[in-house]
Each structure stands twice: as C-alpha cells, then as structure tokens.
Chains A and B, each alone.
Chain A
Amino acid sequence: MARTLKFNIFRYNPQDPESTPHMESFVLEETDSMTLFIVLNRIREEQDPSLQFDFCCRAGICGSCGMVINGRPGLACHTKTRDLPDEITLLPLPVYQLVGDLSVDTGAWFRELYDTVESWIHTKKVFDPTAPEERMENEVAEAIYELDRCVECGCCVAACGTARLRPDFLGAAGLNRVGRFLIDPRDERTEQDYYQIIGNDMGIFGCMGLLACEDVCPKHMPLQDQLGFLRRKMGITALKTFFKK
C-alpha cells in the first residue's frame, strides 16, 4: 500500500510584511519513482501555488535544487522518497541569502567567488584563428575535467563548519576551482600567485578538515584529496618563501 508522506517545509516570504518564518506541513500520497521534484511541484500545483523553490534541469546536472533534506544538504531532484522516512523536513541551504521558502541566492555568492579566485585561464598568449590547437595529453584533459565537474550547487559550502563561522571562506567549491586552474598547463599563474589567493584562512588554511563537503557532494567530487593536495602545495610554497628570505 502506498505510504502517506508528511513534508515539513520552511516558509518565509521576505517580500511580504505579513509573512514570518515558520514551518508548514503538507501531506501527499507516495507514488512510484517519486522524487522531491515531483513532490514540490505537486504541492505547488495542488496545495499552495506560492511555494518557492528552485529547479532547472531536474536531472542532477545543473545544481539548482540544493536544499537541506532531513538535516543533510543534497539535490532535491535526484532524491527519491523511497529512500526517506514517512516524515520529511525540507529547509533552505544555510550560508546563502534566502530568497523565499526553499529558494536561496547561490548565483551572487558564486559570482563573487569567480572574481576572488580569478576563475579564468591567465595567459599572455593571444588566440590565433589560423593556427591548429595547442596539443594536450588526453590524461591531462581528463584530470582537468574531473575537477571541472562541480555544478556549484552549494551543498559543500552549506555543510562546511568553517563557512558557517566565516563568511569569506571560499569553501570546497572555491578551493576546488583554484585546484582546477593549478593543474591546467594553459594557466600561466605561479604557485606564488595561487598562494596570494588561497594561502590564508579565507582559503586552504581555514579548512578544519571536517570533510562534510566530500560526504554531501552530489557529484562525488574528490574534495578530500583536493583539499589535502592544496594544503600540501601551499604549505610547501610557504616554506619555500620563508627560506628564500
């Protein structure tokens, strides 16, 4: 027999002076292959059309639908109700500014990050449209892509102890982004340049090693290895600088 599911959902519309933050419950019959994408859309269409949440690709590719599902940050679109108990609590991701209900502003947070870490290839070379492409070993390309797979859903940041304590912490997503450029031979930045960005408490030395980021990452990014790699690399860079003086 189909289960009856109870959803406790955080509600608050900051644009409505009469609205106050509170929890609201909705009840739905479970159906086959039900995901939180189906659940939230059904609640909006059948029970409360003002319910705010974000979905885009609904296929686990775009990273729009990060939220806290029974205490754990994750992507709603690929969360199946059959993996959850009868009572399910949904909260917006912390750290990011609330837009309303389950919707948060990840866009502004990440856009600022691109500027902070200068999230682009730094090169003095000028593109020549008449020349063939520069060669690259396929293994190098695959290693870069492995770190490029992050969808910026914000789950790692929402689950991060440091990010909750200091608003300027880059988080695993930000540090991983730096790591992506560090291994890209097309980027001409030196280790010293990267040290300027992440060789501090806002960057890699702010990481307390709790590693919830790795646990919650819906794309299974190798964040633990990546944070360890950057910490070693920046530690060595610091020592080299110290002994040169």
Chain B
Amino acid sequence: MQTIYTDVLVIGAGLAGERAAIEAAQAGFSAICLSLVPARRSHSSAAMGGMQAALGNCAKGEGDCPDVHFSDTVKGSDWGCDQEVARLFADNAPIEMRQLAHWGVPWNRVVPGKDTYFKGGKIFDKEEKEENRGLITARDFGGTAKWRTCYVSDGTGHSVLFTVDNVCAQLGVEVHDKTEAVALIQDGQTCFGAVARCLRTGELRVYLAKASVIATGGFGRIYPGTTNAVICDGGGHIAAINTGVVPMGNMEAVQFHPTGIVPTEILVTEGCRGDGGTLLDVNEERFMHVYEPEKQELASRDVVSRWMTHHIRQGKGVKSPYGDHLWLDIRHLGEKHITGKLREVYEICTSFLGVDPIRQLIPVRPTQHYSMGGVRTNKDGAAYGLGGLFSVGEAACWDMHGFNRLGGNSLAETVVAGGIVGKKIAEFLQGAEVTFNSSVIDAEVRRQQERIQGIISCKAGTENVFKVRTAMQDALFKGANIFRTEDGLTECVESLQATLERARKVGLRSNGKGVNPELSSALKIEGQVKMALMLAYGALKRTESRGSHNREDFTARNDRDWLTRTLAFWKSEADTLPTLEYEPATSVFHIPPGDRGYGKSEIITAGTKAEDKG
C-alpha cells in the first residue's frame, strides 16, 4: 500500500481547499490537495457572477462598508446564520479581493464618466468618479443594499480559480488529481488522514496528515435536476458522516436558484438580473414587481424562486415538453453587453438551447443550486466531533448563510473562509504532534478493501446503483423541494428508508477492474441516501418556514422555537434514520431577529406565548 505523508491533507482542490492550502504552505507546512478532477475543473470555475465584498468603489456602491454587507448577509440568512462568522466574513472580504488582485485576478475596474444601467427593465443614469478610476468595481446582485459584487466579466470563478491554482503551483502545494477520498482514518477522537482511490489505476492509497480538510463543495447531485457539476456528489460529506461522530449542520437548508435553464438545468448567472434582466410569464409580462414592489427581480434567491413557483402554480407558466417554465429577458441589455459582460450566458444559450438571448427569451425555472448545510464547524473551521479535522467552503456549515445565502456570497466565502481557516490550520499545526497508530490505519484500509470486494462480487445483492440513485433523487424532488409539507416529507423519508435498504444491496454488473465508473458510483450510494435522509428528516422536524425552507403547513418563521441549527448524526451503521440534535443559531446577536424587508413577514417572535401558536 502506497502511503503518503503530508502536514495538511485537503480533500477537494476548488477555491476553498486551495486557498486554505496556500495559507498552510506560506507558513512552511507541506500540503496536498486531492481532487476528482484537475484542480482547474473544480466546480468553483463555473461560478460566473462574482464575489461580494464591501469595497464601495463604484458609484452605486458608495457608502458601502462591511457593516452593511454583514446586515444584508444576516437578513439574507433569515437570521439562521452564526452572526460572529458572518461578521468575520464581511470584515475580511475586501482585504481578500485585494489579495486576489495582487496575485493576478483581472477584476473589472471602475471606468469614470457617465453611464447607464437597467433596473426592472427601465434605464437609469449613473456617473463614476474620476478619483476611483481603476479601482475594483462591482455589479448589482439580489438581496443587497449596494452594488457590491466584484467580478471578472462572467467568468469570475474561472479566473480566480486559475489564479489561486497558479499560486499553489508557485508555492509547491501538490494537487493529486483523479484521486478520490473514500474514508477518513480516525479513532473516534482524532482524524489521521484518509484512504483514497486512485482514479488512474483504481488502486487504494493511504494519506496520513496532522490536519485533514474537507473542501469538496456541495452535494446537489442527490437531486435529479441541479446546476451542480457531476462531481458535486457529497463525497467529502459521506466520509465525515461515516465516522458517526461528525454532525452535518442544517442539511434541510437547500437553495434553489431562480434561473436554471430548461432543459439541462445549467445555471445562467444572477448577473443577468443584476445587470437589469427581467422575469416574464406565459403572457410575456413581468410579475416580480407585483409580488416584491421594492426589490422586484432582485429579492433574495429563496424569495424569487418561491414566487416563480407560485406564479407557475397560478397557471402562468410556459408549457414545454420538459415541464412548465418562465422566461428570462435580457434582450434590452443589447448585443455589446450580452456578448461582453454576459458572454458565458450567451454561449450557454446558443450552444445548449439554440436560443439567441440578444433576440430571444431564455426558458428558466428554479433549480437546486446550493447546499447551505454541510460539515458543521466552529468559527475556526474545525469540525465538530473529531480533532484534526477541518472543513471549508460549500462543503462546510461554517455558517454565514443560515437558511439562504446571497448571490455572490458563496464564491466570496470560498476564498475568505479559505484564508481564515487556512491560518487557523497553520496555528493548529504549530507544535502539533500526532501519533499514528498503524492498527487504526490498517483496519480502515481493510474495511475499504472488503467493501470494494463485496460490491464487485455482489455479496449483499445485485441492486443496480443507477436505479437506486434515481429512486433517491426522485424522492427528494417530490418531497423536499421548494414547498414542503408534513405529508410530502413523511412520504419522502419513508421512501428514502426503503431506498437505503436497496443501497446496501448494490452489486456491480461490470467487472470492477481499474477505474470502473460503476464502482465509483456504488461506493457512494449508501452515503448519499444517508445525506438525503438527513435533509428530508431535518426538514420534516423543522415545523416553521425560514429562508429556503418553506413549510406550507407552518408558514411563519418561528423565532420562539426554531432559532436553531439542526445537527444531524449517523451514529450507528445499522441505523435507518439520522439522530437530530439542535444548537442555537448564533451565540452573539449583532442584529436581533426582524423583518427582512422582502418576502413574507409572518414571524412568531421569541416573546410569543406557546398557546398563540397558529
């Protein structure tokens, strides 16, 4: 067995993982990132729109500061976030944007002079100041008081990821691509690294590390339709869940993005609406201004997605062979803007839909997009339950997003949290000594070898992994979607429990030799169904509506009983349901729970008596 030692093992080589590795490397530690794909193909690269940071350089961002960014983030989270973490994030975001500029990110810059912009389909004037010429500029995104989203055309994630990966190459951070972590090596107290499968040969390898970091991004692929890349399958989460001691936070908090295209579910950026695009219904009429007079198309994503679904339910959707949808209209922005600042959108529409967005409407509907939940960590990024284990980025529930994250806040989180958590990891490593017990390592390797052999030889059964996966995805789509009910969720949980039984009986049809893709899917399926159960069961138990979690039978946000974060454990292998525990959403209140200023404002406050419950 090939065994590789490193100070820091990062599972995932997207922006969060690589950014954290850079901090460790700069402090003199060795770092290796494992990745399913070459680092630059990580899903961070697909984030088009930008990163929120309160630089306040552009005219419409004047007067912005981290306080305003913090306040927008807390409101966006529907008071579900950890306010200490949100504060840490907002304060550090501007510095991180400048750090990235220093490393080579070609941020779009302020161009002085008079200019026009669109909002709600109407044209307005603005004037950029000469004194701000050449500073990092920003665009408008949903749920924000100011124009705050720093961007590189509509390839922000791509450009920042290339830059950060360049810095990794420069500092000697190794990326072992085509390598998949299949289990953590741990003794219930401390994490010692991971067992990984080489996706060039199919062989297992051992990685030993003083600090391990889960930075594998989101897990949208447990839904049938998602904007997420095919690699966003929850691999890192599964490794953490299978320890039995590391909880997932708020798995029920799932974001649906308003503008996934129909069909194929590819995302078109919020920048379309930020730059003045509008949403139209079957009559080609706007509707968001009726539901949300103030923020209109630029209310937060949970609110816009909800109204879109509501509008479709009212019979105002456009019929298509792929189900009802609505239209996104960016035609009025003009050819120069669309082929320039929205070039990726233009290419996606022309290549995948055969639609020319300069002249035609884009078919869109709300689509699973982001996992607010994930590996629960403290503000330093240290995972609950295991020493030496950290998590960062979308994979983590660090928890600045609560029950809804704002557009532009996740891409910013990757690098801001990556920097903060990376520094904490470096501090942790200073003087840290770990004793590696070979019996713990060998036992985990043997467990994985036996598991693989069992699946190849159909020891437990011959269930088809792809069919089991479809059953899981369909259950979530039906029961744990934008609108949720007791009945729907109960059925979803029961159906997932039956699916879990099937997942435990998966066997291969092919020979399993080498980099067998069927084996890769089979190794993950049971863990994925456990995640789906954490999501659905958490949603069933949360009898309120908060952010993206909407209960049609409990429509109010209930701050009296549910100002909490769900912690989901899978304590024993034989369990058929997760164990749920709860902790306060935040230990510090800079902003007490209140009205968001958009969306509904039905709130059960902490002072409401239990018998008033309606």
The listed residue (A50, A57, A132, A184) touching B45 by CB distance below 8 A is A57
Question: Which of B92-100, B364-372, B529-537 sits within the interface?
Answer: B92-100
Question: CB distance A44 to B97 under 8 Å?
Answer: no
Question: CB distance B517 to A51 under 8 Å?
Answer: yes
Would you list which residues of chain A between 191 and 225 have a CB under 8 Å from chain B?
Answer: none
Question: CB distance B351 to A78 under 8 Å?
Answer: yes
Chain B residue, CB-CB nearest to A137 = B134
Question: CB distance B106 to A144 under 8 Å?
Answer: yes
Interface string of B466-504 (1 = CB under 8 A from A): 100000000000000000000000000000000000000
Interface string of A44-83 (1 = CB under 8 A from B): 1100111110111111111110000000000000101000
A149 to chain B, nearest CB (A): 6
B255 to chain A, nearest CB (A): 18
A92 to chain B, nearest CB (A): 13
A132→B178 CA distance, assembly (Å) = 39
Question: CB distance A32 to B109 under 8 Å?
Answer: no
The listed residue (A57, A127, A140, A145) touching B155 by CB distance below 8 A is A145
Question: CB distance A121 to B511 under 8 Å?
Answer: no
Which B residues are CB-close (under 8 A) to A115? 169
Question: CB distance A49 to B509 under 8 Å?
Answer: yes
Question: CB distance A61 to B175 under 8 Å?
Answer: no
Question: Which of A3-11, A105-113, A159-167, A231-239 sits within the interface?
Answer: A105-113
* A114 touches B (CB below 8 Å): yes
* A141 touches B (CB below 8 Å): yes
Q: A15-B513, A121-B103 are in contact. Are A151 and B158 (CB under 8 A)?
A: yes
Question: CB distance A142 to B104 under 8 Å?
Answer: no
* B68 touches A (CB below 8 Å): no
Question: CB distance A49 to B518 under 8 Å?
Answer: yes
Would you list which residues of chain B between 501 and 519 have a CB under 8 Å from chain A?
Answer: 508-511, 513-518
* B315 touches A (CB below 8 Å): no
Interface string of A1-39 (1 = CB under 8 A from B): 000000000000111100100000000000011010000
The listed residue (A35, A44, A137, A186) touching B517 by CB distance below 8 A is A44
Interface string of A114-144 (1 = CB under 8 A from B): 1100111101010101011111111011101
**Main DSSP-derived SS at the A contact region:** loop
A221→B265 CA distance, assembly (Å) = 26
Question: Which of B35-43, B544-552, B589-597 sits within the interface?
Answer: B35-43
Question: CB distance B169 to A135 under 8 Å?
Answer: no
B173 to chain A, nearest CB (A): 11
A62→B48 CA distance, assembly (Å) = 12
Would you list which residues of chain B between 105 and 138 have a CB under 8 Å from chain A?
Answer: 106-111, 133-137
Chain B residue, CB-CB nearest to A134 = B101
A136 to chain B, nearest CB (A): 5
Would you list which residues of chain B between 235 and 272 have a CB under 8 Å from chain A?
Answer: 263-264, 266-267
Please tell me the number of chain A residues within 8 Å of chain B, measured between CB atoms.
67
Question: CB distance B106 to A141 under 8 Å?
Answer: yes
The listed residue (B46, B135, B465) touching A61 by CB distance below 8 A is B46
A118→B170 CA distance, assembly (Å) = 7
Please tell me the number of chain B residues within 8 Å of chain A, measured between CB atoms.
73
A59→B39 CA distance, assembly (Å) = 17
Summed over the interface, the residue pairs from A and B with CB atoms below 8 Å come to a total of 199
Question: CB distance A59 to B178 under 8 Å?
Answer: no
The listed residue (B102, B266, B518) touching A58 by CB distance below 8 A is B266
B106 to chain A, nearest CB (A): 4
Chain A residue, CB-CB nearest to B99 = A127
Q: A107-B37, A120-B166 are in contact. Are A133 and B515 (CB under 8 A)?
A: no
A16→B351 CA distance, assembly (Å) = 37
A154 to chain B, nearest CB (A): 10
Question: CB distance A60 to B347 under 8 Å?
Answer: yes
* B453 touches A (CB below 8 Å): no
Question: CB distance A52 to B515 under 8 Å?
Answer: yes
Question: CB distance A110 to B158 under 8 Å?
Answer: no
* B296 touches A (CB below 8 Å): no
Chain A residue, CB-CB nearest to B165 = A114
Which B residues are CB-close (under 8 A) to A106? 38
A51→B162 CA distance, assembly (Å) = 30
Question: CB distance B231 to A49 under 8 Å?
Answer: no
* A148 touches B (CB below 8 Å): yes
The listed residue (B97, B107, B166, B511) touching A114 by CB distance below 8 A is B166
* B153 touches A (CB below 8 Å): yes
A134→B109 CA distance, assembly (Å) = 11
A54→B45 CA distance, assembly (Å) = 16
B87 to chain A, nearest CB (A): 17
* A99 touches B (CB below 8 Å): yes
Q: A121-B104, A142-B153 are in contact. Are A49 and B466 (CB under 8 A)?
A: yes
Question: CB distance A133 to B136 under 8 Å?
Answer: yes
* B177 touches A (CB below 8 Å): yes
The listed residue (B133, B166, B229) touching A62 by CB distance below 8 A is B229
Report, nearest first, the 10 A-B pairs whose CB atoms are least far apart. A15-B514, A135-B134, A107-B38, A49-B518, A50-B510, A144-B106, A107-B177, A120-B166, A138-B109, A114-B169
20 pairs across A/B with beta carbons < 8 Å? A15-B513, A19-B513, A44-B517, A49-B517, A52-B517, A57-B46, A64-B41, A80-B354, A106-B38, A111-B177, A115-B169, A120-B169, A121-B166, A127-B102, A132-B98, A138-B111, A140-B106, A148-B155, A151-B158, A186-B102
Task: Given contacts A52-B517, A61-B344, list 16 more A-B pairs with CB under 8 A.
Answer: A19-B513, A35-B352, A50-B511, A58-B230, A59-B46, A61-B46, A99-B200, A110-B38, A114-B166, A120-B166, A131-B98, A132-B98, A138-B110, A141-B152, A145-B106, A184-B106
